[in-house]
């Protein structure tokens, strides 16, 4: 573990009278601050998290015994403990001996390393016989860690099964953390305990909880201390490296759960990624194993049959607890859809499956998909839905034989992020993904799932706002609270031109309309972003 030590060594000629002779005791002290919490200094020294004390010094007659005693005290979250060392060493070596022991202890246990915030060391004695007193601060107390362990066991019993491979366990843990923890925007909560019992934490809390759950589930992982790029700046950041079936992969649950928190949303933008795929993260690559290869779906299960362009298996967990894979679809056309039984004003992703003349996609959907949706509102027709700007709920798979002889339809239980859904479409379906038509609610609000501008993709909500000086105009104002950056693997995306024109397809009460929005500053509200519909472009889409 990287250290950032403030150290000082001095000798005090303290006279101890034994009979007629004088014996001089030497003293030394040392401060260590965990670099992951350097922004919290000096509060770490003045506000210990626990007051547990070991009492009588523990006598150790070897380095190994010293290291074992220190490790036990750290695991017990003792804020103060003393160890007497009595074996062959020079006093001038004692701080190096102490540092070496702690570096080895923390280097062997990332969870303990990132839970230990600071250490103050006081040494008194002589060569071959010293007493070392440690004062430490931690993220959590011993009692809190006991509660974390118990709660993690409960959660794993609910989400992990004995038949799961390591990559399946990793996904289940990643999803649970993203769905149940929100980012602490006040930057106060750093621990796995806070993530579990307060439901919020900064990146350290996400990372520690993922590490703890992976460890208890039997999956090897590490914690990376580096920097991440977000909101236009680089900042200190931590995330996980996970070892899956022979390779290391990055997993960043914090970045997969961006602010503002959206209930039910799970992103996979930073899930099981290689070094090359983490371009907005920086870390000391000499201190961590290389993640040199891109992840292949279900790498631990060996399901690699099918007709995808990248020879990847497509496996989903269905409502019937059955695996749906490309092995079922050799030589067949694969269609992916997303649907919701209760939708409200959802965005419509029409023609997402890409149209084809052999066989006609529309006729197949009308023949096989609509009957399956017969218990749902008729307005579902044959397009998939997106739930707001966040996740698709209840994705569906349709495997349809070109000769119409072997059709497979089933509801799945996964919740997929919108860009992940489109990313899979681009991988598993031949042909381009065509345009998107957004839903307009009764108040004429339009949810734009993706608009590309200067190479960056955004999602946002457009609220209809009449302007007094132009009562005949049609204006929409971007709701700034809904703006989010969408990873560039989203394929169905409108492009904002260099002169700030945005082509829009909006569905209102079952009819689809196309028009162009022009960026139009409004003097009465110069800080707002308004768009005016170009009436000359307005037309109903057939």
Listed range (183-197, 230-244, 367-381, 410-424) with the worst mean pLDDT? 367-381
Model confidence at 178: pLDDT above 50 = yes
Model confidence at 111: pLDDT above 80 = yes
Model confidence at 514: pLDDT above 60 = yes
pLDDT band, residue 540 (cuts 50/70/90):
confident
Percent of the chain residues past pLDDT 70, beyond the cut: 62
Q: What is the mean pLDDT of residues 367-391?
A: 35
CA distances from 225 to 236, 238, 278, 386, 536 (A): 8, 5, 14, 35, 54
- Alpha-carbon distance of 348 to 285, in angstroms, equals 43
Give tens-digit pLDDT for 344-367: 333 333 323 322 333 444 444 444
Q: What is the pTM of this model?
A: 0.56
Model confidence at 458: pLDDT above 70 = yes
- Alpha-carbon distance of 434 to 424, in angstroms, equals 14
* Three-state secondary structure call for residue 126: strand
Q: How many Cβ atoms are within 10 Å of 18's Cβ, its own excluded?
A: 7
pLDDT band, residue 480 (cuts 50/70/90):
confident
Give tens-digit pLDDT for 29-54: 999 999 888 777 545 444 444 455 66
pLDDT score for 534:
83
pLDDT score for 80:
95
Q: What is the mean pLDDT of residues 100-106?
A: 96
Nearest 5°: CA angle at 263, between 262 and 264? 110
Query: What DSSP string runs through 9-68?
Result: E----EEEEETTEEEEEEEEEEEEE-GGGGGGTTHHHHS-S---B--SPEEESSHHHHHH
Domain segments of the chain as ranges = 4-138, 142-287, 316-428, 438-541
pLDDT score for 526:
58
pLDDT band, residue 408 (cuts 50/70/90):
very low
Model confidence at 381: pLDDT above 70 = no
pLDDT band, residue 389 (cuts 50/70/90):
very low
pLDDT score for 9:
41
pLDDT score for 301:
57
Token pair 């070094």: residue: 275
pLDDT band, residue 538 (cuts 50/70/90):
confident
- For CA atoms 184, 187, 188, 194, give the dihedral sign: positive
pLDDT score for 52:
57
Model confidence at 423: pLDDT above 80 = no
pLDDT score for 313:
36
Mean pLDDT is highest, among 12-26, 46-60, 146-160, 394-408, for 146-160
pLDDT score for 414:
42
Q: How far apart are the first and last CA of the chain?
A: 62
Are the C-beta atoms of 88 and 129 separated by less than 8 Å? no
Fold of 142-287: C8orf32 fold (3.10.620)
pLDDT score for 459:
74
Of 377 and 360, the structure prediction assigns the larger pLDDT to 360
Average pLDDT, the chain: 72
Model confidence at 417: pLDDT above 60 = no
CA distances from 255 to 60, 86, 228 (A): 45, 49, 9
Q: DSSP secondary-structure letter at 276?
A: G
pLDDT band, residue 451 (cuts 50/70/90):
confident
Alpha helices in 377-486 (DSSP H): 418-428
Model confidence at 327: pLDDT above 60 = no
Model confidence at 405: pLDDT above 80 = no
pLDDT band, residue 328 (cuts 50/70/90):
very low
CA neighbours closer than 13 Å in the CB half-sphere of residue 363 = 7
pLDDT band, residue 236 (cuts 50/70/90):
very high
Of 163 and 344, the structure prediction assigns the larger pLDDT to 163
Of 221 and 528, the structure prediction assigns the larger pLDDT to 221
- Alpha-carbon distance of 430 to 183, in angstroms, equals 38
Are the C-beta atoms of 455 and 488 separated by less than 8 Å? yes
pLDDT score for 348:
31
The DSSP bridge partners found for residue 312 are none
Model confidence at 140: pLDDT above 70 = yes
Of 303 and 499, the structure prediction assigns the larger pLDDT to 499
Listed range (344-348, 405-409, 447-451, 496-500) with the worst mean pLDDT? 344-348
pLDDT score for 470:
72
> Which tokens hold the place of 134?
């440690």
């Amino acid at each position: 573990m990287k250290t950032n030590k403030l150290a000082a060594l001095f000798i005090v000629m303290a006279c101890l009278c034994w009979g007629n002779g004088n014996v001089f005791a030497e003293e030394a002290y040392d401060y260590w601050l965990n670099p992951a919490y350097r922004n919290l200094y000096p509060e770490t020294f003045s506000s210990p998290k626990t007051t547990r004390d070991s009492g009588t010094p523990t006598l150790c007659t070897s380095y190994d015994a010293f290291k074992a005693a220190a490790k036990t005290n750290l695991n017990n979250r003792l804020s103060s403990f003393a160890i007497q060392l009595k074996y062959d060493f020079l006093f001038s070596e004692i701080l190096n001996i102490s540092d070496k022991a702690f570096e080895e202890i923390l280097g062997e246990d990332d969870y303990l390393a990132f839970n230990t915030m600071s250490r103050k060391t006081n040494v008194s004695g002589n060569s071959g016989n010293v007493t070392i007193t440690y004062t430490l601060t931690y993220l959590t107390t011993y009692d809190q860690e006991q509660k974390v362990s118990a709660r993690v066991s409960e959660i794993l019993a609910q989400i992990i099964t004995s038949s799961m491979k390591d990559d399946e366990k990793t996904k289940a843990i990643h999803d649970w953390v993203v769905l149940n923890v929100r980012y602490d925007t006040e930057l106060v909560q750093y621990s796995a305990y806070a993530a579990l019992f307060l439901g919020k934490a900064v990146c350290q809390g996400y990372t520690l909880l993922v590490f703890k759950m992976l460890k208890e589930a039997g999956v090897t992982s590490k914690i990376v201390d580096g920097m991440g790029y977000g909101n236009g700046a680089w900042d200190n950041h931590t995330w996980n490296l996970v070892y899956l079936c022979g390779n290391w992969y990055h997993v960043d649950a914090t970045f997969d759960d961006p602010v503002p928190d959206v209930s039910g949303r799970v992103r996979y933008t930073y899930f099981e990624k290689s070094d090359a795929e983490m371009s907005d993260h920086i870390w000391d690559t000499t201190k961590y194993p290389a993640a040199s290869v891109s992840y292949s779906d279900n790498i631990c299960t060996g399901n690699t049959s099918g007709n995808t362009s990248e020879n990847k298996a497509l496996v989903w967990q269905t409502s019937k607890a059955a695996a749906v894979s490309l092995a079922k679809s050799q030589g067949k056309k694969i269609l992916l859809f997303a649907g919701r039984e209760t939708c409200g004003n959802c965005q419509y992703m029409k023609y997402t499956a890409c149209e084809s003349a052999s066989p006609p996609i529309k006729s197949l959907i009308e023949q096989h998909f609509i009957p399956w949706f017969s218990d749902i509102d008729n307005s579902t027709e044959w397009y998939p839905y997106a739930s707001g700007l966040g996740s698709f709920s209840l994705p569906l798979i349709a495997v349809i034989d070109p000769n119409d002889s072997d059709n497979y339809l089933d509801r799945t239980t996964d919740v997929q992020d919108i860009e992940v859904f489109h990313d899979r479409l681009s991988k598993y379906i031949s042909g381009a993904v065509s345009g998107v038509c957004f839903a307009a609610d009764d108040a004429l609000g339009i949810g734009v799932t993706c608009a590309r501008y200067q190479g960056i993709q955004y999602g946002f909500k457009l609220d209809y706002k009449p302007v007094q000086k132009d009562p005949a105009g049609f204006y929409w104002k971007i709701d700034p609270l809904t703006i989010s950056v969408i990873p560039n693997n989203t394929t169905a995306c409108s492009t904002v031109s260099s002169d700030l024109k945005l082509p829009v397809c909006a569905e209102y009460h079952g009819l689809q309309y196309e028009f162009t929005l022009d960026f139009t500053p409004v003097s009465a509200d110069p800080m707002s972003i308004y768009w005016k519909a170009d009436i000359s472009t307005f037309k109903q889409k057939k």
